[in-house]
Chain A
Amino acid sequence: MYLYLPVALTSINVLIPVGLGLAVGLLSGLFGVGGGFLMTPLLIMFGIPSTVAAATDSNQIVAASTSGTYAHWKVGNVDFKMGLHLLIGGFIGGLFGVQAIKVLNAMGNADFVIKMTYVLMLGIVGTYMFIESLSSMRKKKVQEEKVQERESGFSRFLKTLPFQTEYVKSGVTHSMLLPLIFGGFVGVLAAIMGVGGGFLMVPVMVYILRMPMHVVVGTSLFQILFNCIEVTFLQAYTNHNVDFILAVLLLLGSTIGAQIGAVFGRKLKGEQLKIILAVIVLVVTVKIVFELTLSPSLLLAQAGGH
């Protein structure tokens, strides 16, 4: 069955957005990412204008991450305090990121810098997560001892920072500055790349904030929820690009997908989750590299989006 989308001004087979929503929602519930890096290009492939695709995706992520946060919160896997501090950092970082884009546009090589940042970030994060989780799966006992040795040096430095506070749900004690600064760092990059930044926030929480993987997923979804509420409103208000009908079709799939992902994720170990996410991130990196090097079929594209 086809439905007409009033803002995208196009007609789509309803099974496509519902199916895409289900698949990306599943990833969202499993790994704590919004999935914009998958959803937006797929929507464009199915004929949705790029600007509408990005804006509408953020609207459906509101639903998917609400569903996912709720599922993780029920089993105590959301650290609200940590989430809030990351959010504040991310918000401030986002403001800087938007300014950075203005500077890049004025310099005239914005697209090059954005694409390169994106590929490098995906590539580095994916490779690091893949190698780290693979080695910790192989020689778990040896790794644990090593990590503790390494941690002691790193945490001694962190202990010297002011505003130390305990994050009970995550079972860690950090300076408040840590999530603020790294949340801000992700915020800057996310704004430059025009993505939600879940794939960066998850590794920051795992490797820098040393949070357990299952709490990372729930907390990441919590802060993605608030980011996407803000982005949806701004997109609807300034660009009129949110397609309500498309968002409803997507969220029909993604809210259910997020629940299934959350349930399924509990059956997997932290390392297993990390390595699957690493593989997905690397596949996306390879796809983007191909897009950059193979001749496109169309040399012109609608203005907007990436």
Chain B
Amino acid sequence: MRRYKYQISNCKTAFIITVLLGIFATAHTASATLTAKANHDHIEVNFFYHGSTVSVSGITDPGTELIIKIASPEGHESLKQKGKVGGILWMNVGTLKFEHVPNLYSIHSTRKLEEMLEQKELDRFVIGLPALNRHAELNPSSGEDEKTKWFGEFVKYKESSKLYASSSGRIEMKEKDGKQSYYINTEWPYQAPPGDYLVTVYAVKNGKVVETAEAKVNVEQVGLVKTLAGMAKNNAVLYGLISIISALGAGFGVGLVFKKGGGAH
């Protein structure tokens, strides 16, 4: 059996940069009215967890449009690459390493991203999949076309487990007392592993990001799920023995129950 390591490292630096960019963007705006709040900032993963919903809401200046980005800290991911061998057979032909990519990335905007911001501005805040493609690194890579192609495959892979998502026009806006409130309800996939996630709301006016606000979502295992997950990692010998003994016990137990039915020959 071949063994590989599957790693998503928490990239703290990238997180700090994102926060600093946020502060920078906030600092040079005159009126800091944008607020962001996630209704579920702490998601508990228990036995019956089957995903959740996270709604993001807040207040923004009238006349601004919004982009909401929910992402995990950037990391790297190594994936097996399939290709054709001898022109007919699909096989694993190597490993591709994607760097500076978040494990979870979802973008919701009031309009289509490219109608709201120019590429330069999208790239600056890494908003949208094309911007993430330009931001990410691929190893080994033989040129931009190849990188774009495999990044596309990476997005498909992520979308298949609901970790990457995007929408436009789903953010509800309401004006009241000269302020504008917004609200969006998003599905939180059960495939998203425990960890910290950052919600960033960008207020956009005249093709520029004029303000940002942030909220956090924390996903944590609790109870027996946490105990078992911890034991599998930190107490592997005991965990392995318990798994084997339970299986042996179950096998014998069922064998005894079936004694009458199975004895005749």
Q: Do A and B bind each other?
A: yes
- Chain A positions within 8 Å of B, measured between CB atoms, are 2-4, 6-7, 9-11, 47, 49, 51, 54, 59-60, 62-71, 74-75, 101, 105, 110-112, 115, 191, 194, 229, 231-233, 235-240, 242-245, 247-248, 251-252, 255-256, 258-259, 262-263, 266, 291-305
Choose the segment among B9-17, B60-68, B119-127, B243-251 that binds chain A (4+ C-beta atoms closer than 8 Å): B243-251
Given that A259-B262, A300-B157 are known contacts, is A292 also in contact with B91, CB under 8 Å in the complex? yes
Given that A6-B225, A304-B6 are known contacts, is A232 also in contact with B244, CB under 8 Å in the complex? yes
A294–B89 Cα distance when bound, in Å, is 8
CB pair B255 A67 closer than 8 Å: yes
Interface string of B225-251 (1 = CB under 8 A from A): 110110011001101111110111011
> 18 A-B Cβ contacts within 8 A?
A4-B48, A6-B221, A11-B50, A63-B251, A66-B248, A74-B255, A105-B2, A115-B91, A229-B248, A242-B232, A244-B243, A293-B89, A300-B153, A301-B80, A301-B157, A303-B6, A304-B2, A304-B4
Q: Does B217 contact A (CB under 8 A)?
A: no
CB pair A298 B48 closer than 8 Å: no
Q: Which residues of A contact B221 (CB under 8 A)?
A: 6
Q: Which residues of B contact A6 (CB under 8 A)?
A: 221, 224-226, 228-229, 232
3 pairs of A and B residues whose beta carbons are closest in the complex: A66-B251, A236-B240, A70-B255
Q: Which residues of A contact B229 (CB under 8 A)?
A: 6-7
Q: Which residues of B contact A54 (CB under 8 A)?
A: 1
Q: Contact partner of B228 among A2, A63, A244, A293, CB < 8 A?
A: A244
Closest to B248 in A: A66
CB pair B240 A62 closer than 8 Å: no
Taking the nearest CB of chain A, how far is it from the CB of B101, in angstroms? 12
Taking the nearest CB of chain A, how far is it from the CB of B146, in angstroms? 12
Q: Which residues of B contact A101 (CB under 8 A)?
A: 2
CB pair B80 A302 closer than 8 Å: yes
A111–B80 Cα distance when bound, in Å, is 11
CB pair A299 B247 closer than 8 Å: no
Count A/B pairs, Cβ under 8 Å: 215
CB pair B262 A74 closer than 8 Å: yes
Q: Which residues of B contact A259 (CB under 8 A)?
A: 254-255, 258, 261-262
Q: Which residues of B contact A68 (CB under 8 A)?
A: 251
Taking the nearest CB of chain A, how far is it from the CB of B78, in angstroms? 6
Q: Does B140 contact A (CB under 8 A)?
A: no
Q: Which residues of A contact B239 (CB under 8 A)?
A: 236, 242, 244
CB pair A51 B4 closer than 8 Å: yes
A11–B45 Cα distance when bound, in Å, is 10
Most buried by A among B1, B236, B240: B1
CB pair A75 B263 closer than 8 Å: yes
Q: Contact partner of A4 among B79, B225, B258, CB < 8 A?
A: B225
CB pair B82 A262 closer than 8 Å: no
CB pair B2 A194 closer than 8 Å: yes
CB pair A63 B191 closer than 8 Å: no
Closest to A250 in B: B247
Q: Which residues of B contact A59 (CB under 8 A)?
A: 243-244, 247
A33–B248 Cα distance when bound, in Å, is 17
Closest to B251 in A: A66
Taking the nearest CB of chain A, how far is it from the CB of B14, in angstroms? 22
CB pair B82 A71 closer than 8 Å: no
Most buried by B among A4, A194, A296: A4
Q: Does B174 contact A (CB under 8 A)?
A: no
Given that A259-B258, A303-B79 are known contacts, is A3 also in contact with B232, CB under 8 Å in the complex? no
Q: Which residues of A contact B80 (CB under 8 A)?
A: 300-303
Interface string of B9-53 (1 = CB under 8 A from A): 000000000000000000000000000000000000111111100
Q: Does B96 contact A (CB under 8 A)?
A: yes
Closest to B190 in A: A11
A105–B15 Cα distance when bound, in Å, is 37
A259–B254 Cα distance when bound, in Å, is 8
CB pair A292 B90 closer than 8 Å: yes
Taking the nearest CB of chain A, how far is it from the CB of B62, in angstroms? 41
A239–B3 Cα distance when bound, in Å, is 8
Given that A2-B48, A298-B157 are known contacts, is A293 also in contact with B3, CB under 8 Å in the complex? no
CB pair B190 A10 closer than 8 Å: yes
Closest to B241 in A: A233
A54–B233 Cα distance when bound, in Å, is 17
Closest to A191 in B: B1
Q: Contact partner of A294 among B6, B46, B90, B243, CB < 8 A?
A: B90
Q: Does B185 contact A (CB under 8 A)?
A: no
CB pair A51 B193 closer than 8 Å: no
A256–B44 Cα distance when bound, in Å, is 34
A70–B261 Cα distance when bound, in Å, is 13
Q: Which residues of B contact A244 (CB under 8 A)?
A: 228, 232, 239, 242-243, 246
Q: Contact partner of B153 among A60, A71, A110, A298, CB < 8 A?
A: A298
A240–B238 Cα distance when bound, in Å, is 12
Given that A9-B191, A9-B193, A255-B254 are known contacts, is A248 also in contact with B161, CB under 8 Å in the complex? no
A72–B182 Cα distance when bound, in Å, is 67
Q: Which residues of B contact A304 (CB under 8 A)?
A: 2-4, 6
CB pair B81 A299 closer than 8 Å: yes
CB pair A233 B244 closer than 8 Å: yes
Taking the nearest CB of chain B, how far is it from the CB of A15, in angstroms? 14
